[in-house]
Structure formats: C-alpha cells, structure tokens
Amino acid sequence: MAVFTPVSENDAHELLARYTLGELVSLRGITAGIENTNFFLTTTHGEYVLTIFEVLTAQQLPFYIELMHHLAQHHIPVPQPQTLRSGERLTALHGKPCVIVTRLGGGYEPAPSPAHCALAGATLAQAHLAGQSFEIKQANLRGLPWWKRTVPLLLPFLSAEQSELIQRTLADQTRFAAGSIYRQLPFGPAHCDLFRDNVLFDGTFEMPRMGGFIDFYFAGQDTWLFDVAVSVNDWCIEQTTGVFDAEKLNAWLQAYASVRPFTEAEQHAWPILLQAAALRFWVSRLYDYFLPRPAQTLKPHDPRHFERILRERYKMVAIALP
C-alpha cells in the first residue's frame, strides 16, 4: 500500500481548480510503488496521475518534472506534467509538493521477451539523445557520494564476507571514478531506475508496443552507460541467479546501439559499470531493509538479490558491448 497522504474529493476539487483539466470524475489510490503517494485521477478532460512527493523536496523536484516535460516535447513516451493556471508545473497539497501528469496506456511486463528488451533499449537511447539539450543540472542523488555516505552505516549489519565485498566494490568504484576512462564516458540526464516495473507496454505479448517510461524520481546526471547497466541488470537476467540471459541482453544492447552506438571508453568501462549498477541497488535495498523510513509501510525489496548480481558481475571481466 503506497498511499501515505490521503486526498479527499474536496481536496481534489480544490486542486483541479488550479488547472484547466476539467472537472473531477474519479480519484483512486495506486497501491504499487514505495516512494510517493500516487492516484489515478480522471477528469472530464482525460486520465492523469496525481503524485504527492513524500521524500523529494520542492528544490529537487524541478529537475524531474522539467526533464519529463522536455522529453515529452521531444516525442519520448513519458508522462507529460500538466501546467497550472499560474504557469508552473509543481504545486502542493497538505504541505507536500505534488504534480499531475498524463496517464500512459499499457502495463508493465514482469517476464519480458527479447522484443520487450529491444523496445526498452531503443527508447532509452532515444531518451539519452533527447536529454542532451536539457538545461537543468542535478546529479544522480544515489551516485558514488551517496554510496560513500551510506556504506559505513550498513557495515554493522553485514557479515564479514559481505563487508569485504561492499568495501572492495566501493574502493574499485572510487578508483574508477577518478580515472581517465570515466571522464571520457558520455553522460547527461539518465533515468537511473529503469527496471521493468517502470516501463509500460501496449499491444500483445508477442507484438509489444512501447507505452512509455515512468517514475523519473531517481533520475539525474550520470553516465549513460550506468543507466544501461542498471536496466540490463534487471531486464536481462535469470531471476533466481542474476546470470545474464544472452538473448535478452543482446536484444537490449543491440537495440540501444542501433540508436546510439557505444564508444570505445564505454567498452572498457562496461564490466565495472555493471558492478556499479549492482552496488547501487544492493546499498539502497540494504538501507531500506535495516534503516527503514518511519512512514514506509511496504515490505522492502530483497537486498540479497543484488548481492548475488554483484558477485556474478565480478566473474565477468571480459564482456563486450555490441
């Protein structure tokens, strides 16, 4: 259950009066998700999603909201934030920042085929290219500085073996981020959480069509290859072992490269960025598991999944991009 902030019909009427989106027809809480409070909002003009931000601040939010707006303007399938009568796209409800975005069609695919992987890969490459002209800068708030701050808080909860692995990986990432290959990697706005539950598909399982990308609230400036690594670590694996499924991985990476070919520096960086992407979610899942937010009502995701993936990625030293 992810409705942390209740919204009454009166609240919704009052909120809609700030927009030109017609009259309220219905408002329904969305149970998926762990970060924000989300509602499906139907008005006489159409279908929208109302998101109330529980953690992110009004200072951090313009990056995400304007990035979605920018990508939508460049025909990338993402929710379009709606503009208030005041000209802004961010407002507040019960003292918390909120936004209304268009509701995308389709649903997420828990067991994606190579065709789903190819659609996701090609669309991510298009989003990266379209993001190049986006002017607001904000770092990935779950990047290396956050890992460095967070890992020491987790050590008391870890076994000796886990401590060794997490500290070794952090040291490897710190060294890599200070080196010349890292500086040559193309970067820009990146989604940074493009798991399969953040991509919606239309069509049939056999002939899927891209519905769009959602949940941009972990996005930030990062290397594009980190974004690819985060994605394939979720989309293209054997779920129980974390081992890559070669067919899905090829489909994903080929489709991405057909839009935005990988560079030589990216070839060199690929194994270590796969480790970075695994570390990122091992750390956040450990943090949510051992140090949960007071308001969080959901069962945290299993941290061991990303520990397994990280161990697997350390075995893959000679893996090539297309």
Ligand X SMILES: N[C@@H](CCOP(=O)(O)O)C(=O)O
Ligand Y SMILES: Nc1ncnc2c1ncn2[C@@H]1O[C@H](COP(=O)(O)OP(=O)(O)O)[C@@H](O)[C@H]1O
Considering the complex, state which of residue 89 and residue 142 has its C-beta at the smaller distance from ligand X. Answer: 142
Which residue of 215, 227, 266, 307 would you call a contact of ligand X, by CB under 6 A? Answer: 215
- 21 near ligand Y, judged by CB under 6 A: no
- 30 near ligand Y, judged by CB under 6 A: yes
DSSP secondary structure code for residue 283 in this structure:
H
Q: Least CB distance from residue 92 to ligand Y, whole Å?
A: 18
Taking residues 23 to 52 in sequence order and writing x for each that binds ligand X by CB under 6 A, - otherwise, the string is ----------xxx-----------------
Q: Residue 56: how many CB atoms within 10 A of its CB?
A: 18
Which residue of 66, 197, 202, 288 would you call a contact of ligand Y, by CB under 6 A? Answer: 197
- Environment class of residue 18 by beta-carbon count within 10 Å: exposed (0-12), middle (13-18) or buried (19+)? middle
What is the C-alpha separation between 320 and 322, in angstroms, rounded? 7
From residue 102, give the alpha-carbon distance in Å to each of 30, 167, 293. Answer: 15, 42, 29
- 284 near ligand Y, judged by CB under 6 A: no
Note whether 13 and 24 are within 8 A (CB).
yes
Q: Which DSSP helix (H) or strand (E) runs through 269?
A: helix 264-290
- 79 near ligand Y, judged by CB under 6 A: yes
Q: What are phi and psi of 193, to 5 degrees?
A: -155, 40
Considering the complex, state which of residue 261 and residue 292 has its C-beta at the smaller distance from ligand Y. Answer: 292
What is the C-alpha separation between 14 and 16, in angstroms, rounded? 6
- 18 near ligand X, judged by CB under 6 A: no
Which residue of 4, 15, 21, 36 would you call a contact of ligand Y, by CB under 6 A? Answer: 36
Q: Which residues bind ligand Y (CB under 6 A)?
A: 2, 30, 32-36, 38, 49, 79, 101, 103-104, 197-198, 214-215, 217
Q: Which residues bind ligand X (CB under 6 A)?
A: 33-35, 193, 195, 198, 215, 281, 284-285, 301
